Amino acid sequence: MKLIAWWRLLPVMLALAAALPVAQAQGITTPTLDRIRENGAIYIAHREASIPFSYMIGDEVVGYSADICERIVGAVREKLGMPTLKVVQVPTTSFSRILMLMTGTVDLECGSTTNTKIRQQRIGFSVATFVSGVKALVRKDSGIERNADLSGKVVVTTSGTTTERLVKTVLAARNLPAARAKTASKHSESFAMVVSRQADAFVLDEPIIAGLLANSPDAGKLKLLEENFGFEPYGIGMRRDDPEFKKLVDDTIVGMMKSGELEKLYNKWFMSPILPNNVNLQIPMSEMLRDLLRNPSDAGI
């Protein structure tokens, strides 16, 4: 699959965002399936290190979300009668993913994006494919044992994620002084700030932190706090107001749920050894996700 460096697209994305109402009038709202047919390709945004959802092994994009999107691509090929439809993989970040969808740079975003009501004002989401607990990673020698201990501490989050607001909300609800916030551009950078003592904690979705721990030589110095800050539903991202394309995406995912294929994918990525180091994350499927498999929903938080 062809790869595109996301930073090469940034000037175009920013220009489109600045003139978004004009761009929409000139074709950004063209139905996604029509755009895919005209382009002869489907453009998919992926994450480079969001283990186990979407990440790189050499030049290949792999992961739980990547596998789901592979099935969606199959459905698009069948719908359009284009069995050799080209797939163009476009790297994205927490910062750029929403903009890429809004500007039509990509047709799908297949990573680890939380479906929120605020984001729904800008992009569309599939039915939920995962529900993640949000936890704090700290050093074992930090003396931090629970979420309340983060009050007044330096807490790093990755820019473009929902976690900074979540930490502030939880601490405020307990009438505790807010944490001192820092941000980094990538999950790996946030993680490294805790290791190097530039931050006291890194707050993010549990499976992604587990993936970072599984591939870090410093894992033995770190621990996850048991408490959750909250729970976040992930969905496959797409442009808003395209009911035909959303139906195709949702029908594909719901079909995987009903057939048991999605649970098999879950076991492959969360309950079995995965590349690059053949580490088993050992994260059993939550009851919240099991309920969503029985009752699919695209409701955001």
Give me the residue spans of the domains in the chain.
Answer: 2-129+235-294, 132-232
Please tell me the predicted confidence (pLDDT) of residue 167: 84
Same CATH fold assignment for domains 2-129+235-294 and 132-232: yes
Q: What is the pLDDT of residues 259-289, one digit of tens each?
A: 999 999 999 999 999 999 999 999 999 999 9
CA distance 241 to 219: 43
Please tell me the predicted confidence (pLDDT) of residue 99: 95
Please tell me the predicted confidence (pLDDT) of residue 217: 95
Please tell me the predicted confidence (pLDDT) of residue 162: 84
Please tell me the predicted confidence (pLDDT) of residue 22: 37
Does residue 23 contact residue 34 with C-beta atoms inside 8 Å?
no
Please state, in angstroms and as integers, the Cα–Cα distance from residue 252 to each residue in 72, 84, 120, 141, 244, following that order. Answer: 6, 19, 21, 46, 12
Please state, in angstroms and as integers, the Cα–Cα distance from residue 231 to each residue in 60, 65, 196, following that order. Answer: 30, 18, 28
Please tell me the predicted confidence (pLDDT) of residue 164: 78
Q: What is the pLDDT of residues 83-98, one digit of tens each?
A: 999 999 999 998 899 9
The parts of the chain modelled with pLDDT lower than 70 are 1-28
Does residue 245 contact residue 31 with C-beta atoms inside 8 Å?
yes
Please tell me the predicted confidence (pLDDT) of residue 28: 65
SS3 of 220-258: the string is: HHEEECCCCCEEEEECCEECCCCHHHHHHHHHHHHHHHH
At residue 276, φ and ψ (nearest 5 deg) are: -90, -15
CA distance 167 to 199: 14
Please tell me the predicted confidence (pLDDT) of residue 163: 87
Superfamily of domain 132-232 in CATH is Periplasmic binding protein-like II (3.40.190.10)
pTM above 0.75, yes or no: yes
CATH number assigned to the domain with residue range 2-129+235-294, chosen from the 4 options 3.40.190.10, 1.20.1560.10, 3.40.50.720, 1.10.3720.10: 3.40.190.10
